[in-house]
């Protein structure tokens, strides 16, 4: 799907789903700027979602949305600050739901996605995919699995760091396929992608957005999702190819401190739905290879709970 077509479709959806500010704030109307804490540094994947959201917020919010970066301790520094903020509707947190969840499963943290916050909404997703170099002999997952089974422990694969959602998703694939391969962590999606392109590894588990602009150098074999990506529509899911890989990815989730009034949660939830349905937001996401992916509070929390249940046994096995 090209950029123009995608934005046109999103604009058409906007006409059907957007809410007016008066509808969104029938019970709550913010009067002070809203701080959106991002527990990572500027320029990363989660930060890019936050800045696109803030830039498009004027259509739905009567006050500015200000992105506040609070990096440190794999997102826990910013999450701790957000959890301790006054629950008055002036502070929210946007984070990688998958990373936050896995940090909670892997470490003894004082904050977590389920007990320390109220879920407001999901606005997008960073979805893991399996990629190989374009000159790889693997045309399909079956090709890769057959070779890995024939040469146990000889293939190498990479991801963005042990304990990352790409790592856990990749281990879920290895478990499902019954293969043994050596995992090689890299620092960041760009470095991980470069190593796949350069043939330093046999395959990589990387965000699907990393393929944008590198279509002549990468072959994407599968997506860790229950549906195809709206942009990379030719990439089949693992499930379509007969592999029951746990759906571990990174929903971009907005949280509010515990104790926030229900009227504030509902108002912000409606505002996020309106912002993410705007063509301006879709266009900003498309430039990064991402697409909006809105879920309301209940569905966003249910997705995180399902991901926790899928990831927990994989994490437990890695710690043995």
Distance between CA atoms of 201 and 101, rounded to whole angstroms? 27
Q: Which DSSP string corresponds to 241-297?
A: GT-------EEEEEEEETT--HHHHHHHHHHHHHHHTSHHHHHHHHHTT--EEEE-H
Question: How are strands ordered across the β-sheet holding 117-126?
Answer: 65-69, 34-38, 91-96, 250-257, 117-126, 292-295
The first and second tokens of residue 186, run together, are: 């890299």
The first and second tokens of residue 269, run together, are: 């939830």
Amino acid 162: pLDDT: 87
Q: What is the pTM of this model?
A: 0.82
> Are residues 161 and 259 in contact, defined by beta-carbon separation less than 8 angstroms?
no
Distance between CA atoms of 83 and 15, rounded to whole angstroms? 35
The dihedral over CA atoms of 49, 55, 58, 63, expressed in degrees to the nearest 10, equals 90
> Are residues 204 and 192 in contact, defined by beta-carbon separation less than 8 angstroms?
yes
The dihedral over CA atoms of 14, 126, 48, 303, expressed in degrees to the nearest 10, equals 70
The first and second tokens of residue 251, run together, are: 């929903």
Element housing 320 (H / E): none
Distance between CA atoms of 132 and 186, rounded to whole angstroms? 16
Q: Is 1 exposed, middle or buried (0-12, 13-18, 19+ CB in 10 A)?
A: middle
Amino acid 270: pLDDT: 94
List strand residue ranges (DSSP E) for the chain, in order.
34-38, 65-69, 91-96, 117-126, 128-133, 156-159, 182-185, 203-207, 218-223, 250-257, 292-295
Closest alpha carbon to 249 in 300, 190, 304: 304
Distance between CA atoms of 234 and 14, rounded to whole angstroms? 25
Closest alpha carbon to 141 in 42, 264, 238: 238
Amino acid 320: pLDDT: 65
> Are residues 139 and 270 in contact, defined by beta-carbon separation less than 8 angstroms?
no
Amino acid 281: pLDDT: 87
Distance between CA atoms of 102 and 14, rounded to whole angstroms? 34
> Are residues 175 and 314 in contact, defined by beta-carbon separation less than 8 angstroms?
yes
Q: Which residue has the tokens 């504030």?
A: 264
Angle at which helix 165-177 crosses helix 141-150, to 10 degrees, equals 70
Written as tens digits, the pLDDT of the chain (320 aa) is: 444 444 444 444 444 444 444 444 456 788 899 999 999 888 777 888 999 999 999 989 999 999 999 998 889 999 999 999 999 999 999 999 999 999 999 988 999 999 999 999 999 988 899 999 999 999 999 999 999 999 999 999 999 888 889 999 999 999 999 999 999 998 878 889 999 999 999 999 998 888 888 999 999 999 999 888 877 889 999 999 999 999 998 899 999 999 999 999 999 999 999 999 988 888 888 777 776 789 999 999 999 999 999 999 999 988 76
């Amino acid at each position: 799907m090209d950029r123009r077509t995608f934005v046109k479709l999103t604009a058409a959806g906007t006409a059907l789903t957007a809410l007016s500010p008066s509808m969104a704030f029938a019970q709550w109307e913010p009067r002070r700027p809203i701080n959106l804490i991002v527990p990572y540094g500027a320029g990363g994947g989660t930060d890019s979602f936050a800045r696109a959201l803030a830039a498009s917020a004027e259509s739905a919010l009567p006050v500015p949305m200000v992105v506040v970066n609070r990096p440190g301790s794999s997102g826990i520094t910013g999450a701790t600050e957000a959890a301790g903020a006054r629950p008055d509707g002036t502070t929210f947190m946007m984070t990688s739901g998958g990373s936050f969840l896995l940090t909670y499963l892997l470490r003894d943290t004082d904050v977590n996605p389920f007990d320390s916050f109220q879920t407001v909404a999901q606005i997008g997703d960073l979805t893991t995919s399996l990629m190989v170099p374009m000159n790889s002999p693997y045309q399909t997952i079956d090709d890769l699995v057959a070779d890995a089974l024939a040469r146990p422990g000889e293939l190498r694969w990479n991801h963005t760091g042990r304990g990352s959602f790409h790592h856990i998703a990749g281990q879920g694939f290895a478990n499902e396929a019954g293969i043994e391969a050596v995992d090689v962590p890299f620092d960041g999606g760009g470095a991980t992608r470069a190593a796949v392109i350069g043939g330093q590894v046999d395959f990589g588990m990387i965000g699907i957005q990393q393929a944008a602009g590198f279509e002549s150098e990468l072959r994407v074999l599968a997506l860790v999702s229950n549906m195809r990506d709206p942009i990379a529509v030719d990439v089949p899911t693992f499930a379509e190819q007969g592999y029951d890989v746990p759906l571990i990815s990174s929903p971009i989730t907005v949280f509010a401190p515990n104790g926030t009034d229900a009227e504030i949660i509902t108002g912000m939830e409606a505002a996020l739905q309106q912002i993410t349905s705007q063509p301006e937001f879709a266009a900003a996401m498309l430039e990064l290879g991402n697409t909006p992916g809105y879920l309301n509070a209940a569905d966003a929390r249910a997705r995180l709970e399902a991901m926790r249940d899928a990831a927990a046994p994989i994490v437990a096995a890695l710690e043995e």
